[in-house]
Structure 1
Amino acid sequence: MRYPVTELARGLGFVEGPVALEDGAVLFTDIGAGLIMRLDPDGSIDVFADVGGGPNGLATTSDGGLLVCNNGGMGIREAADGFLRPNGTRGTRPVDPCIQRVNAHGRVEAGIASHRGGSFVAPNDLVLDAYGGCYITDFGAVHGRLVDPGGVYYAKANGRSHIADELVHVASPPLPLTQPNGVGLSPDGDTLYVAETASGRLWSWAVIAPGVLGPGPQPTTANGATLVYAVEGYAFFDSLAVDPDGYICVATVRKGGISVIAPDGELEAFIPMPVFDPAVTNICFSPEGDTAYVTAAGTGRLYAIDWRQPGRRSRSTSNRPPSVWSKP
């Protein structure tokens, strides 16, 4: 299958978290600057919200809010090879790692401050279900020889519950996840996918009820996860999105593109970006499902991919972002 790619913008920062709105605009994050940006259909780019810290994944809620995974802060520098890269600091405006809420006009509100096991370390990505709850990944952190592997969490009520339940890493041994990153749901909501950065592996669980996970079809680990796919060669997985037909589309670091993986674990395609970027970070879909938007952080670019494929169907409108979003 062909996936035509078009560059929409360049000269951006270390970008992540794209969200496509019904009016044709795209929101995305600038992690190093602590900003949420808005690209309008006419090509203009404005600051939508100043959230501080290090905003990562975004998701819109059914009540008109925007949830922001804020990792607390991340300094960014241009490396010797010319690509933007994290510099190992918390940046100039750190905040406590949390899930923030931003209203439709860009005002930051109270969100999810912690989980029942304690404080977040580095919230990375999230996906909402049909019940107003959200699954959240925490990337964890490395401190010398000590590693906090992160985890997967669930919060109810459109991010207004202020505390999340831990779903993975409550069992012993705490496997399979180390550095959980991208998270997504199958179109029917019955399967949760999580991409693990360090190993380049994609895992799945069955969703028994909102916020309740069970073993996948072929459990591989003590926590019931099924290994869906493992990337070939030296590469890492970043964030992901699931397309209308259930294909899991994972931003693949070092390879410079998107891995398109069928639910049965077969690699359907790899989509490289027109300009090589070792830090392709995230992908989202338009409300109709016919366009994908990709953030390439190493070169500060935003791309659109024509996702109209033979046999593809249109995305259900049941979880479309609200139409009330406007410029601040």
Structure 2
Amino acid sequence: MASTIVPSVRCRIGEGVLVHPERDDVYWLDIPTGELYRYDPATGNHDRFQMEPPVGGFTFQEDGSILLFGSGGRIIRWNDGETSVVVDGIEAEAGMRFNDVIADPRGRVFVGSMTDDDHSLGRLYRLDTDETMTQLEEGIELPNGMGFSPDAETFYLAETNTNRIYAYDYEVETGDLSNRRVFSERNERGNYDGLTVDSEGGVWVGLWDGGSVVRLTSDGQPEERLEVPAQNITTLSFGGEDRRTAYVNSASFEAPLSDVAAGHLFALEMPVSGSAEYYSDVTE
């Protein structure tokens, strides 16, 4: 059974939920408003930080700061209210915004881009630790959730508009991707959105317009489905004791009026444990 976290917070597009690897605080975004939320499960307290909107995603940095991925290719470093520019924009990203992001075991960041009308084709970039941006893919029909297999040899990328998840061979020492193939393709209601990978290599995916999260086996086969009391599920992240709690985010955008829980963050007890997300380590 999913329980609502911080009932007073209802996001238009709740996204980017991440559990801090050490403190277990839960962070998440409302993309169009640029609001970043922090929730402490031990006390039940939460905080709100106003960022320059929109913010598509973020990562925790090794030095305690947070990287914020905005629009037009702009990336900001935020540290207790102080900001500095990491990337001031990318010409090809005019009219676009960043979407889901993920740090890798070496502190690099992978990030996708999209438009809010969902019609333009997006790109996949890698931000290296020296602040260099490299375009890896283009022509992606709404790049979304990303994840790494437990051995860090496989990289996953959801393409929401085609309802596919791709798998790539991943070289951790260089950050290179190769051998793209279709890992899973869904042909029923509910589009693949954000994802995470559990400790056994299962891929958990939130379903936009699907009201649930599903687990795919390491060969891409649907194995388990857990319902969530909101229609548009955007992403999830493992936390809590033994990392057996999934924090599941949702959107009120495009949800029916009857979906009174839309836009809330939920906690869901899981049948398997997850793994901590990696820190980014992008330095000036």
Whether 1:153 aligns to 2:90 is: no
1:278, distance to aligned residue in structure 2 (A) = 2.3
Alignment partner, residue 290 of structure 1? 244
Deviation string for 1:227-267 (max 9, x for gaps)?
11112313222211112222111111111121211120111
Alignment partner, residue 107 of structure 2? 132
* Correspondences of 1:15-30 after superposition (within 5 Å): 15-21=14-20, 22-30=22-30
Q: In structure 2, which of residues 77, 99, 103 is the aligned counterpart of residue 101 of structure 1?
A: 77
Q: In structure 1, which of residues 200, 210, 219 is the aligned counterpart of residue 163 of structure 2?
A: 200
CA RMSD of the aligned region, Å? 2.5
SS at structure 1 position matched to 2:231: coil
Q: Is this contact kept in 2: 1:51–1:108, CA < 8 A?
A: no
1:300, distance to aligned residue in structure 2 (A) = 2.2
Alignment partner, residue 221 of structure 2? 266
Q: Counterparts of 2:264 and 2:124 in 1: how far apart (Å)? A: 29
1:165, distance to aligned residue in structure 2 (A) = 0.2
Q: In structure 2, which of residues 69, 74, 86 is the aligned counterpart of residue 111 of structure 1?
A: 86
Q: Counterparts of 2:277 and 2:100 in 1: how far apart (Å)? A: 21
Whether 1:53 aligns to 2:53 is: yes
| TM-score normalised per structure 2 | 0.83
1:279, distance to aligned residue in structure 2 (A) = 1.6
Alignment partner, residue 64 of structure 2? 64
Unpaired stretches in structure 1, ≥5 consecutive residues: 73-95, 216-224, 323-328
Unpaired stretches in structure 2, ≥5 consecutive residues: 253-261
Deviation string for 1:192-215 (max 9, x for gaps)?
110011111111110134331111
Whether 1:7 aligns to 2:8 is: no
Deviation string for 1:4-31 (max 9, x for gaps)?
4222222422221111123232111122
Q: Counterparts of 2:46 and 2:236 in 1: how far apart (Å)? A: 18
1:303, distance to aligned residue in structure 2 (A) = 1.0
Deviation string for 1:148-203 (max 9, x for gaps)?
3111110111xx51x4101112xxxx5xx311111111122111110011111111
Alignment partner, residue 168 of structure 1? 137
1:320, distance to aligned residue in structure 2 (A) = 6.7
Q: Counterparts of 1:292 and 1:112 in 2: how far apart (Å)? A: 32
Q: In structure 2, which of residues 178, 185, 190 is the aligned counterpart of residue 230 of structure 1?
A: 185
Alignment partner, residue 180 of structure 1? 143
Q: Counterparts of 1:296 and 1:226 in 2: how far apart (Å)? A: 28
Q: Counterparts of 2:218 and 2:114 in 1: how far apart (Å)? A: 24
Whether 1:304 aligns to 2:267 is: yes
Deviation string for 1:207-227 (max 9, x for gaps)?
134331111xxxxxxxxx211
Q: Percent identity?
A: 23
Q: Note closer, same or farther for the CA distance 1:271–1:308 as it changes in structure 2 (3 Å cut).
A: closer
Whether 1:212 aligns to 2:167 is: no
1:68, distance to aligned residue in structure 2 (A) = 2.3
1:292, distance to aligned residue in structure 2 (A) = 1.2
| TM-score normalised per structure 1 | 0.73
Q: Is this contact kept in 2: 1:186–1:246, CA < 8 A?
A: yes
Q: Counterparts of 1:134 and 1:187 in 2: how far apart (Å)? A: 17
Equivalent pairs counted in the alignment come to 265
Paired amino acid for 1:122: R
Paired amino acid for 2:15: E
Q: Is this contact kept in 2: 1:151–1:168, CA < 8 A?
A: yes
